[in-house]
Chains A and B, each alone.
Chain A
Amino acid sequence: MHPVPCRVRSVVRELDDTFTLDLEPPSDGWSFVPGQFTMLYAFGVGEVPISISGDPGDPTRLVQTIRAVGPVSDALTSVAVGDVVGVRGPFGTAWPMELAEGRDLIIMTGGIGLAPLRPAILHTLEHRDRYNNVTLLYGARSPGDLLFAEQLQQWRGRFDLEVLITVDHADRTWRGPVGVVTSLIGRASFDPETAVAMVCGPEIMMRFTIQELERAGMTEDRLFVSMERNMKCGIGLCGHCQLGKFFVCKDGPVLSCAAMTGACWTREV
């Protein structure tokens, strides 16, 4: 599978090291579902998995948010308007948007993990009447590290979306909670018997979050995580992304905790 050259329409600097690219989609009629990712290719440098962070209701734009952490992500975040990057995909499974209909929805994430969940949030807001209480619990290192800060501010102003934000390290401007994101669970209003949770962050954060949500009365079949593994192909061929019996690139990245079983949480699996 060849990467399709896609033109960069705009580049937005979100944080010092994080940029959002607005790309021309690979083809007419191109679409994606919340939770999916693409393999983004920087010419001659390499290709890495990046989640789609845009609005699933607007198929004319392919929006991806990238944090520069190494050679490929550096190259992808150094592009200018008019440049092209290679795109393969979309790949992978979706957040359970339909399962969550008629129920309370908890979205828990930290740091750059908000990017893969933004399409799910935008989808719920677009079809707000289909969902009961929707709560976003978001944690960042410091107030200056909040991703999509402006949009978070807008969302906070809405009456139909509860947004709870915590930071690890506060500064003088910060009036909100300080601490890990799991500490926010007690403040969220949801029915643990029926609610659906979508969780994305570092594996350790997801482990603790799942534990806490189970403690609050939620069951595995309604807990969903987005797993991260090394990926070279995106189509189940290179073997790199294996997590137990799963190829995270095609059986995931979004997996239900019921399917994950204990084996997947074993250390170094």
Chain B
Amino acid sequence: MSEPLVIDRQGVDALIAVLIDRGYEVVGPTVRGQTILYDTITSTEDLPVGIRDRQEAGSYRLEERGDDALFGYVVGPQSFKKYLTPPGTVFWKGLRTEDGFETVEADPPPRHAFFGARPCEVAAMRVQDDVYLPVGDGVYTERRERSFTVAVNCTEPAATCFCASLGTGPAVSDGYDIALTEVLSGEHHFFLAEAGTDIGEDVLADLSARPAHDEEVVGARRLVVHASDHMGRSLETDGLQELLSANLANSIWNEIGNRCLTCTNCTMVCPTCFCSTVEDRQALDGSSAERVRTWDSCFTLDFSYIHGGPVRSSPGARYRQWITHKLSTWQDQFGSFGCVGCGRCITWCPVGIDITQEAAAVRERDIRKVAVGIPSVKEVLE
């Protein structure tokens, strides 16, 4: 790709305008109530300008930063999966006919430009790509292929972030059309803009941007490296896959199960969680029916219901299923972790259950280690 460019806030506005002009619905971060959510934006006015988010286990708060940063916060409770697999998507409609029924396709989706996508978010889309694209899921594939991604590198991670442990951030490495890095120091406030694809380059060519000086590039890169060294949390990934698959019988799951409310928050906010269910609806007169897909969660009882009762009736078994899938069986299934280290599940868990802490606790109490480490009564007496 061509060399990095420099734009200012007007340039960012111009970028949004170009995308709208090219037929994209631009969706990005915007303040709604006390939270940063994704919604349609038309200019930088819609962004959470000068806002910071304070995140901790079970807590989320917005504050004034006292500056004009456009991207001075990280991720809110939503991810772009709300656009790629919108809950309530109609798969198809069926109409009763003389001799049975026929199915008709749902309407084509809008073209989205995902604006201000954090590296973990971009990584999460790649994780979901591996789930949906090989199967050829129509809903996801069509939306994903029509989408455009403007990523924003992270320079100020939250206390709940641990993307550096998973190699998914704080710099975006792949899967973006344009990447921005915001630099705000004293007088200087500019954005390094880099294309990741031909179409990204084409869009950047529509802006009046100048090539970046070397110092500007180095300065911007340094901010991102600094972020990498200041992650709020970390996750030890060494041997993690085997650790969890070997600890299904650990008593820790019951203990976590005692705290977990099985509220499903963690799965709803997670950008990689893909579990879904379908609802079949029928018009009252029986003339038509439709199949609708909605998000589902492995934390509900219905999720694993088979005739006779749910397979996972205890909350502990459901938490075990979730974390083991994220950090172990996802590797078997898709060759990557099902976690990108965005920290959302930590922030939005009402009781503050923390995936990094629980994984560390399992490591601490690894039943393989404990089984060997604790001598039997007989051994002690001898």
Interface residues of A (CB under 8 A from B): 2-3, 5, 7, 41, 43-47, 69-70, 83-84, 86, 202, 228-230, 232-233, 235-240, 242, 244-245, 247, 263, 266-269
Contacts and interface: CB of A to CB of B under 8 A. Distances in A.
A232 B101 contact: no
Interface stretch (B92-100, B214-222, B258-266, B352-360): B92-100
Contact of A268 (B289, B306, B313): B313
A268 B249 CA distance: 10
Contacts of B282: 43-45
Enumerate the 4 nearest inter-chain pairs by beta-carbon distance, A residue then B residue, closest first: A44-B282, A84-B100, A239-B275, A268-B317
Majority SS at the chain B contact face: mixed
Interface string B324-359: 010011001100000000000000000000000000
27 contacts: A7-B100, A43-B94, A44-B282, A45-B280, A45-B282, A46-B280, A86-B94, A228-B306, A230-B304, A230-B305, A230-B306, A232-B278, A233-B278, A237-B131, A237-B132, A237-B137, A238-B277, A239-B296, A240-B303, A242-B329, A245-B332, A245-B333, A263-B248, A267-B317, A268-B311, A268-B314, A269-B248
B277 A232 contact: yes
Contacts of A3: 103
A113 to B, nearest CB: 13
B312 interface: yes
A235 B91 CA distance: 15
Contacts of A202: 308
A44 B286 contact: yes
Nearest to B134: A236
Contacts of B280: 41, 44-47
Interface of B: 91-92, 94, 96, 99-103, 131-132, 135, 137, 245, 248-249, 274-278, 280-283, 286, 289, 291, 296, 298, 303-308, 311-314, 317, 320-321, 325, 328-329, 332-333
B347 to A, nearest CB: 23
A255 B131 CA distance: 22
B325 A242 contact: yes
A268 to B, nearest CB: 4
A5 B100 contact: yes
Nearest to B283: A44
Contact of A242 (B91, B248, B291, B321): B321
Majority SS at the chain A contact face: loop
Contacts of B91: 2
Contacts of B277: 232, 238, 240
Contact of B307 (A70, A83, A86): A70
Given A44-B282, A235-B135, A229 B311 contact: yes
Contacts of B291: 47
Contacts, number: 103
B284 to A, nearest CB: 10
Given A238-B276, A242-B329, A266 B135 contact: no
Contacts of B307: 69-70
A240 B296 contact: yes
Contacts of B308: 202
A47 B304 contact: no
A78 to B, nearest CB: 14
A240 B100 contact: no
Given A229-B306, A229-B311, A268-B313, A245 B101 contact: no
Contacts of A230: 303-306, 311
B248 A266 contact: yes
Among B92, B135, B276, B311, find the residue whose CB has the most chain A CB atoms closer than 10 A: B311
A151 to B, nearest CB: 25
A239 B321 CA distance: 11
A20 B329 CA distance: 37
A84 B96 CA distance: 10
Contacts of B248: 263, 266, 269
Nearest to A262: B248
A234 to B, nearest CB: 10
Contacts of A44: 94, 280-283, 286, 289
Given A44-B282, A84-B100, A229-B306, 12 more contacts: A228-B306, A232-B278, A233-B276, A237-B132, A238-B276, A239-B275, A240-B303, A244-B245, A245-B245, A266-B249, A267-B317, A268-B311
B333 A247 contact: yes
Contacts of A2: 91-92, 103
Contacts of B321: 242, 269
A230 B303 CA distance: 7
Given A44-B286, A230-B303, A237 B274 contact: yes
A237 B286 CA distance: 29
Contacts of A233: 276, 278
A269 B280 CA distance: 28
B296 A238 contact: yes
Contacts of A237: 131-132, 135, 137, 274, 276
Nearest to B290: A44
A3 B329 CA distance: 30
A105 to B, nearest CB: 28
A137 to B, nearest CB: 23
A74 to B, nearest CB: 12
A229 B304 contact: yes
B131 A5 contact: no
